[in-house]
Structure 1
């Protein structure tokens, strides 16, 4: 029996398809990621401000 050879590109594409998020969830995930980023920016700005006030 002949063994099927799978190229590395094919393996990668198969792995990506399995990891994709369904379209229904994408908008919610983008919203949550944006909120997380804004929160992180606020925390960093607060920390920078606190560091500058300790002189």
Structure 2
């Protein structure tokens, strides 16, 4: 029973490692994500402002 549990844990850790973003790509990815979030915030604020102007 303990061997099966250890094997399942190893399998999970392998899947997690494969899903991680490589260290050399992380800074560019974080920068792009931040830019996307700022753009989305601007769009939402514009929509809110437009909705308030119609009344």
Q: Where on the TM-score scale, by shorter chain, does this alignment land: which range?
A: 0.7 to 0.9
Q: Which runs of 5+ in 1 are unaligned?
A: none
Question: What TM-score does the superposition give when structure 1 sets the normalisation length?
Answer: 0.83
Mapped to 2, the partners of 1:11 and 1:45 lie a distance apart of 44
Find the counterpart in structure 2 of residue 12 from structure 1. Answer: 12
Find the counterpart in structure 2 of residue 52 from structure 1. Answer: 52
Tell me how far 1:20 sits from its aligned partner: 1.2
Which one has a larger percent helix, Structure 1 or Structure 2? 2
Tell me how far 1:21 sits from its aligned partner: 1.1
The runs of at least 4 consecutive aligned structure 1 residues that moved more than 4 Å come to: none
Mapped to 2, the partners of 1:38 and 1:11 lie a distance apart of 37
Question: What TM-score does the superposition give when structure 2 sets the normalisation length?
Answer: 0.83
Find the counterpart in structure 1 of residue 39 from structure 2. Answer: 39
Residues 7-36 of structure 1 show CA distances to partners (whole Å, capped at 9, x for unaligned) of 2x3222110101111111000000000000
Q: How many residues align?
A: 51
